[in-house]
Amino acid sequence: MNLEESELYLRTRAAQSFNVIQTVLLAEFSGVTTNNASGRTPLHMNEDGQPDPARPDTDGPYSYWDHVDAVLELARSHGIYAALLPTWGDKFNLKWGKGPEIFTPENAYTYGRWLGERYGKHPQVIWVLGGDRALETKLHFDITASMVEGLKQGGAVQLMTFHPPGCESSSRQFHDEPWLDFNMIQSGHGEREITNDRRVQQDYDREPAKPTLDAEPCYEDIPVGFRGELGYFDAADVRKAAYYALFSGAMGHTYGHHSIWSMYRGGDDLIESNQQGDYFIMSWREALHRPGAAQMRHLRALLEQEMGRDLRPNLDLLHFNRTGANRMAALQNRENAYIYLPNGLYVDVVMRYIEGKQIRAAWFCPRTGERTEASSNAAVLNQGIERYTAPTSGRGNDWILILKGV
């Protein structure tokens, strides 16, 4: 993307109440071998003709890294943090990627130190190691450790985490590492039934306590299981993943769109993974305004005012929970409770978990952000079990019951 396109993207996301964007400095596919919009690549070549992480190319006017500087400044101007991956994982563990594998522990340290010196004091940066790859060998661990050491030695003072492969959390390999400030989960794109609440809960229960979030849940309009013939995750799916995660104790949540991570330009884009014509189904400009993206602001508005030390998940609020696609999630603080019903229906609530002699109830719509009083509109005694029936039911008719003690 050129700078004008980047500005459009960041301005739109800021208007939609997003506050962090994840991006990669040495990107997937051919990110170290093809030119950016200004005709520049990130690295000099070594004597073997391979991109050299120890030699970032800052030569001449408006280098690749000058463009990074400009985009980071744009993000700062819009109040957005950049969660920066120094490299995508295929640059040290090829797997299904394009690579090339260019990192050693030595040049990972040098590259990390250079990044730390250049961006280590930037107020809007969060560092994300890894990049959709497991660390499978000692060499992979050594490369990651060296890059972390380089960043720190270069002066990086910001938060750090690790982006794991699908259906994993950074906690499996790094929870006890002192440099890991919070955990990242990739619940991924292969599960038709969304279960990221369980992954968040596993991290939430770990000792020592560290915050966690689902940094790569199902993306809006991505093929289920990466196969177009299976259909696509939609706004109902991305809302469900978001509320499941936050109602289970996550510190935040990532919304993703399939055409946004790739910045897919449309039918004339030469991106290799769209050979069948059903993998990417719209341009990134269209994708900016998909309903799931616009609805994330309602979740932020609902919960941000309640953030505090006593906000916690509590499934004991539910007299019984359903299974599968109708599984509910529940969150509370001292005086309020929030119960997510993914398909409407009803919930039987166990009272007395929040303070107050009586309880007033309201329904919150995740699709519109509107709040309406429960049908009875009368306070009930804060005792026993009380049934609340959602205004509507069915797929896409998710609701949040809000209970307030009075």
Q: Which residues contact 135 (CB under 8 A, 6 or more apart)?
A: 93, 141, 144, 173
Looking at residue 378, its pLDDT comes to: 81
Which tokens is 41 given? 């690549």
Would you state the pLDDT for residue 332?
Answer: 97
Q: Which amino acid is at 304?
A: E
> Is the CB of residue 158 less than 8 Å from the CB of residue 125?
yes
Q: What is the 8-class DSSP label of residue 119?
A: H
Least-confidence region, from 236-245, 246-255, 269-278: 269-278
Instruction: Tell me if residue 98 falls in helix, strand or coil.
Output: coil
* pLDDT value of residue 56: 98
Decide whether 3-304 matches 312-405 in CATH topology. Answer: no
The answer to whether the CB of 394 falls within 8 A of the CB of 336 is no
* Rounded average pLDDT over 214-224: 98
pLDDT higher than 80, residue 271: no
Note the pTM of the prediction, 2 decimals. Answer: 0.96
Percent of the chain's residues with pLDDT above 90? 94
Q: Assess whether pLDDT exceeds 90 at residue 268.
A: no
Q: Domain residue spans in the chain? A: 3-304, 312-405
In angstroms, rounded to a whole number, what is the distance separating the alpha carbons of residues 72 and 66?
10
Residue 376: pLDDT band (50, 70, 90) is low
Tell me the C-alpha distance between 37 and 48, whole Å: 26
Indicate the pLDDT class of residue 172, thresholds 50, 70 and 90.
very high
Q: Is the pLDDT of residue 100 over 90?
A: yes
Summarised one tens digit per residue, pLDDT across range 137-162 is 999 999 999 999 999 999 999 999 99
Q: What is the mean pLDDT of residues 264-270?
A: 83
CB atoms within 10 A of CB 310: 9
Nearest to 349 by CA among 302, 325, 398, 382: 382
**pLDDT-derived band of residue 309, with 50, 70 and 90 as boundaries?**
confident
Q: Following DSSP, what letter does each residue of 334-348 receive, concatenated?
A: SSEEEEEETT--EEE
Ranges 15-29, 55-69, 74-88, 293-307: which has the least confidence: 293-307
**Distance between CA atoms of 52 and 135, rounded to whole angstroms?**
21
pLDDT at 274 over 80: no
Tokens of 89: 């994982």
Query: What's the chain's length in residues?
Result: 406
Topology annotation, domain 3-304: TIM Barrel (3.20.20)
Question: What is 312-405's CATH number?
Answer: 2.60.40
